[in-house]
Chain A
Amino acid sequence: MNVSVHPNVMLAIGGILGILVVASVVVWALRRARPGADLGELSSRVRSWWVMVAVFTVALLLNRAVSLAFFCLVSFLAFKEYLSLIPTRRADRRVLFWAYLAIPVQYVWIGYRWYGMFIIWIPVYAFLFLPLRMVLIGRTEGFLRAAGTIHWGLMTTVFSISHVAFLLVLPRSEAGAGVGGPALVLYLVFLTQFNDVAQYIWGKLLGRHRAVPTVSPGKTIEGLLGGLATTVLLAWLLAPLLSPLNTLESLSAGVLIGLAGFIGDVVVSALKRDLGVKDSGSLLPGHGGILDRLDSLTYTAPLFFHYVKYMHY
């Protein structure tokens, strides 16, 4: 175990485990109260949460190399899920292989804390190289669609998600609790995921007006606002524990995560609707695929990272 884990981080992880215990008890109580009800999806959803939290916690606390390898694996799984979902060209096999190779390299830059390379590796070098590789293959039919879709996938599943990993290698800040990267990762990931859950619950309780009916009919304005309020409150409560943010900054961070999380969610919904699938995969029972779980994070991670970086680093 990493000896330098800040006690605040342990406290926060304890809190998350507490929430999971409550969720499991609620599922158990629902099952006792209504024996005939179909709770299969809800209970497998909670069970998957346990697995995800366990894996995430171990990966975060063990040491930096393990943490980076974990985020690299997450990007790989998400990119693979994306490529398995979208139409691809048989001729592009080697192009896809090169695109996969960009993933570990991106995380190596993070390991060296080489910010300049981290921030241009995919938007500049991968962006310029992959079309060149496609030209060498020589098939022009469907060229733009292939180049565009492959790069969109890299940006979403690798570039965006890798911002969580760069948050991890940020040094301890002067301000606030003086906690380091792992605390910021926890702050971002917990708020993003809890925002999803809160929007869902508020939507179930009060939902009336659909927010984006043609993209995601289940999303409501009430759910969005309820989730946003919950997230702002939690962002403010947790900031002294896990971040260098002051009161005003943490309230803004809450608004940022709440709104960006919603947008990431509906953007991936639009993608799935376009492709005619309900779930992006079947990796996480009760949730769907890994993209179904990462959707909000693809928006919150880069936005929150640059917000914190601008304010404090």
Chain B
Amino acid sequence: MLRLLFFMLIVRPVVLVVLGLNVRHRERLPSRGPAIIAANHNSHLDTMVLMTLFPWGVLRRVRPVAAGDYFLRNRLIAWFALRIIGIIPIDRSGSTPRERLLDDVVAALQNGEIVIIFPEGTRGEPERLQRFKSGLYHLCARVPEVPVVPVFLHGLGKALPRGEALLVPFFCDVFVGEPLPWCEERDAFMQALAGRMQALAAEGHFAEWE
């Protein structure tokens, strides 16, 4: 309930009026889970924008995967991240054994939820695509039947880059790609994902921002 109110009163107005989205190929978004949304990561706003793309009925089944060390660092933020946003925390510290790391994500997918993943692993330099980490591959290996929908985001790193608290309005682009076919070869799978992202990025015309 609180989650719905937060999205209705704060997230949607900010994302749709203060920012404003230019969405291409919206019809490629999955209307139901299980599904994985793989997007590039520039800003805290990325998650909010991706969640705004889904209708109210689907929204409560959308779960962003996020760094536990960052979002569970104190009780207030943890409550907000887990209860309001509904993140699935991932332990980046290395204390969880590798094979158990993705258990919660797999469980969410088996439960028919839509999971948002940022394969770059971090927001990094704004508006620069970084190398994708292979966590997504290890996840897909466990649930190969779940579709992976790549989404390219642009402009959110301009509006609210890492390390900045002031939001400056810009229109943002959201380009949804075709689902990525599963492939057991790790490098081929990761290359296919990177290729999809670059093709999506090439669809847009982006103003220079130095």
A-side interface residues toward B, CB under 8 Å? 76-77, 80-81, 83-90, 93-94, 96-97, 100, 142, 275-277, 281-283
Contacts and interface: CB of A to CB of B under 8 A. Distances in A.
Nearest to A81: B171
Contact of B166 (A85, A94, A276): A94
B45 to A, nearest CB: 14
Contacts of B205: 276-277
Given A88-B207, A88-B209, A89-B210, A80 B170 contact: yes
A226 B208 CA distance: 40
A28 B3 CA distance: 44
6 contacts: A83-B169, A87-B209, A87-B210, A89-B210, A90-B209, A283-B20
Contacts of B161: 90
Contacts of A77: 20
Nearest to A280: B171
Given A84-B155, A281-B22, A283-B20, A100 B207 contact: no
A276 B204 CA distance: 12
A97 B166 contact: yes
Given A282-B22, A283-B20, A97 B207 contact: no
Interface of B: 20, 22, 126, 155, 158, 161, 164, 166, 168-171, 205, 207-210
Contact of B169 (A80, A276, A277): A80
B168 A86 contact: no
A93 B165 CA distance: 11
Contacts of B210: 87, 89-90, 142
Nearest to A277: B205
Contacts of A84: 155, 170-171, 207
Given A77-B20, A85-B207, A283-B20, A100 B169 contact: yes
A154 to B, nearest CB: 14
A1 B102 CA distance: 57
Contacts of B207: 84-88, 275
A84 B159 CA distance: 10
Contacts of A87: 207-210
Contacts of B20: 77, 80-81, 283
A87 B207 CA distance: 5
A271 B164 CA distance: 31
A165 to B, nearest CB: 19
B61 to A, nearest CB: 28
Given A77-B20, A88-B207, A142-B210, 13 more contacts: A76-B169, A80-B169, A80-B170, A84-B171, A84-B207, A85-B207, A87-B209, A89-B210, A90-B158, A97-B166, A100-B168, A275-B207, A283-B20
Top 3 nearest A-B pairs (CB, nearest first) are A87-B208, A84-B171, A282-B22
Contacts of A100: 168-169
A142 B161 CA distance: 21
A93 B166 contact: yes
Contacts of B22: 281-282
Nearest to B205: A277
Nearest to A142: B210
Contacts of B208: 87-88
Contact of A96 (B155, B164, B168): B168
Contacts of A80: 20, 169-171
Contacts of A142: 210
Contacts of A88: 158, 207-209
A93 B209 contact: no
A282 B174 CA distance: 12
A281 B166 CA distance: 24
Nearest to A85: B207
A263 to B, nearest CB: 25
A83 B209 contact: no
A63 to B, nearest CB: 21
Nearest to A281: B171
A266 B126 CA distance: 34
Nearest to A289: B171
Contacts of A283: 20
Contacts of B164: 93
Contacts of A277: 205
Nearest to A84: B171
A167 to B, nearest CB: 25
Contacts of B168: 93-94, 96-97, 100
Nearest to B22: A282
Nearest to A93: B168
Contacts of A94: 166, 168
A134 to B, nearest CB: 14
A81 B210 CA distance: 18
Given A88-B209, A283-B20, A83 B166 contact: no
A231 to B, nearest CB: 32
